[in-house]
Structure 1
Amino acid sequence: MRRTTYLLPILVLAIVGVLSAIFIVDEREKALVLQFGRVVTVKEDPGLAFKIPLIQEVVTYDDRILSREVGPLEVTPSDDRRLVVDAFARYRISDVERFRQAVGTGGIEQGERRLDAILRAQTREVLGKVSSNDILSTDRAALMLEIRNNAILEARALGLEVIDVRLKRTDLPQANLEATFARMRAEREREAADEIARGEEAAQRVRAQADRTVVELVSDARRQSEIARGEADAERNAIFAEAYGADQEFFEFYRSLSAYRKSLTGSNSSMVISPTSDFFNYLKSDTGKASGSE
């Protein structure tokens, strides 16, 4: 009975010691066995592993590809037009022993802070060498690749492998938006004024050409009308001369009737004239002018 009393605690301690010496490495993790803070063993294969109880401890790190958001970063491109850039990176812990030596007990949080500093510095350096138009364009894959390649070299010292870097958003700072919009409006208004001026100039040329064409057409029409009128007058005078030569009495009779028709038409039916005037020769007698002379 007394022996059982001693053996039971020893058995319990032995079981506890064995269990504390066993640990499991997950397939998504890598493990470090530390002894007094110094790395003793690196466990990368999943499964059971052993350590010395109470003397050694196990620290695990995620072996998957991780994402890290880089907060808004203000950069100044080569044309001095400031931009606010958001980016994110994908990385993994490639060397857990070096990562442990670099960050100490800070773990993933400390490693990500140092990775942030690397990404920010490389983003400012790369984007500072190009113009803002290159950054804002859709074809900026070369810039992201350069940032990633430069970050890979520095992150390697931390035991990290940078897989990809992407620029998510590139905007103007809020303080510069209104000034930029005002400049854009001024440029558009200037372009509109130039277009209006060019349109007015073209319209003036068209109007001047049209006025010139009108003057030429009117002048030509007047010239032709004067020619036609002159020819008609000449023809009329020739007809009158021929008629007068053929029968002078009939010609005078026809001229008198034409004068009566024009004088006694419409409201012009009252006339103040001497009764003995030659105008009434063909009204006073059916023999006309000859009877007036008798």
Structure 2
Amino acid sequence: MNRATLLLPVVVLALAAALSAIFIVDEREKALVLQFGQIKAIREEPGLYFKLPLIQEVVRYDDRILGLDVEPLEVTPLDDRRLVVDAFARYRIADLQRFRQAVGASGVALAENRIDTILRAQTREVLGSVTSSEILSEDRAALATQIRDASRNEANSLGVEIIDVRLKRTDLPEQNLDATFARMRAEREREAADEVARGNEAAQRVRAQADRTKVELVSDAQRQAEIIRGEADARRNAVFAEAYGADPEFFDFYRSLAAYRAGILGGNSTMVMAPNSEFFDYLKSPEKR
């Protein structure tokens, strides 16, 4: 009984030592085996590995592609039009030993701080060598590639590979936005005034053309009316002449009645004329004509 009691702690300690000597590296990570701060082994392939318990420790690093948002920064292109650029990068730890030597125990946090500094410097250098029009055009993809290539050389010293760099946003500084918007508003108002002036000019041309067309149509209608009226008068005179030739006395009687109707129109029964006027011949008795 006493012997079993003594062996039990030994077995527990041996089992704990054996378990602490085993570690697993999965496919998403890499691992360093350190002994008193010195690198003793690099484990980049997934699997089951062993280390010396208590003496050695395992430090794990992400083997996936990581993202880093670069803090917005102001750049000054060749045309001195300042811009605020917002970018992001994709990177991965390529050389684990060099990465450990470069950043020590601080790990990814210090590495990203240094990568941010590298990207900001290269962004200012590349974008400062072109105009703002190029930055705001389709050429920005090529500029981002230049920033990536230039940053890779410096990032290699950290054991880091820059996979990609992209420019997310390119804006004017806040203090310049109001002036820029005011200038844009003035340009749009000028364009609107030009459009209104051109519209008024076109409207005047349309009105002038319409007025001329109206005058031409009215003149032509009046000419046609005069022609028709003249033809009607000629026809009427011809009818009158024909009627007069057929029965002159009846025609004179008819014309007199028409004259009476026109002369007494509107209730006017007062007329001033000579007593012997022929106007009322048909109102007199036959013996007084």
Give the TM-score normalised by structure 1. 0.74
**1:3 maps to which residue?**
none
Distance in 1 between residues matched to 2:229 and 2:53, nearest whole Å: 133
Any residues of structure 2 matched to 1:256-267 within 5 Å, and which? 256-267=256-267
**2:124 maps to which residue?**
124
* Matched residue SS, 2:267: coil
Distance in 1 between residues matched to 2:195 and 2:175, nearest whole Å: 32
**1:29 maps to which residue?**
30
Distance in 2 between residues matched to 1:189 and 1:146, nearest whole Å: 40
Any residues of structure 2 matched to 1:57-76 within 5 Å, and which? 61-76=61-76
Residue 88 of structure 2 contacts residue 167 of structure 2 at CA under 8 Å; is this kept in 1? yes
Q: Structure 2: give runs of 5+ residues left out of the alignment.
A: 1-9
Q: Does 1:94 align with 2:94?
A: yes
Residue 68 of structure 1 contacts residue 90 of structure 1 at CA under 8 Å; is this kept in 2? yes
Q: Relative to 1, partners in 2 of residues 1:25 and 1:150: Cα closer, same or farther, differing over 3 Å? A: farther
**2:250 maps to which residue?**
250
**2:271 maps to which residue?**
271
Q: Does 1:204 align with 2:204?
A: yes
Q: Does 1:83 align with 2:77?
A: no
Residue 25 of structure 1 contacts residue 31 of structure 1 at CA under 8 Å; is this kept in 2? no
**2:110 maps to which residue?**
110
Distance in 2 between residues matched to 1:246 and 1:63, nearest whole Å: 128
Deviating more after overlay: 151-160 vs 239-248: 239-248
Residue 25 of structure 1 contacts residue 43 of structure 1 at CA under 8 Å; is this kept in 2? no
**1:148 maps to which residue?**
148
Distance in 2 between residues matched to 1:94 and 1:117, nearest whole Å: 19
User: Following TM superposition, by how much is the alpha carbon of 1:111 offset from its aligned partner in structure 2, in angstroms?
Assistant: 1.8
Residue 67 of structure 2 contacts residue 90 of structure 2 at CA under 8 Å; is this kept in 1? yes
Question: How many residues matched?
Answer: 278
Deviating more after overlay: 83-92 vs 141-150: 141-150
Q: Relative to 1, partners in 2 of residues 1:62 and 1:252: Cα closer, same or farther, differing over 3 Å? A: closer
Distance in 1 between residues matched to 2:229 and 2:62, nearest whole Å: 110
Residue 32 of structure 2 contacts residue 39 of structure 2 at CA under 8 Å; is this kept in 1? no
User: What RMSD over aligned residues (CA atoms) do the two structures have, in Å?
Assistant: 3.9
User: Following TM superposition, by how much is the alpha carbon of 1:264 offset from its aligned partner in structure 2, in angstroms?
Assistant: 2.1
Residue 85 of structure 1 contacts residue 170 of structure 1 at CA under 8 Å; is this kept in 2? yes
Q: Relative to 1, partners in 2 of residues 1:89 and 1:32: Cα closer, same or farther, differing over 3 Å? A: farther
Distance in 1 between residues matched to 2:284 and 2:143, nearest whole Å: 117
What letter corresponds to residue 31 of structure 1 in structure 2?
L
Q: Structure 1: give runs of 5+ residues left out of the alignment.
A: 1-10
What letter corresponds to residue 118 of structure 1 in structure 2?
I
- Map Cα deviations across residues 131-152 of structure 1 (whole Å, 9 max, x no partner): 5566556885444333323322
Residue 31 of structure 2 contacts residue 58 of structure 2 at CA under 8 Å; is this kept in 1? no
* Matched residue SS, 2:224: helix
Distance in 1 between residues matched to 2:244 and 2:78, nearest whole Å: 102
Distance in 1 between residues matched to 2:22 and 2:125, nearest whole Å: 45
Q: Relative to 1, partners in 2 of residues 1:146 and 1:132: Cα closer, same or farther, differing over 3 Å? A: same
* Matched residue SS, 1:88: strand
**2:177 maps to which residue?**
177
- Map Cα deviations across residues 179-237 of structure 1 (whole Å, 9 max, x no partner): 22222222222222222222222222211111111222222222222333333334444
Any residues of structure 2 matched to 1:214-293 within 5 Å, and which? 214-286=214-286, 291-292=288-289
- Map Cα deviations across residues 32-51 of structure 1 (whole Å, 9 max, x no partner): 5366x665654445544446
Any residues of structure 2 matched to 1:161-176 within 5 Å, and which? 161-176=161-176
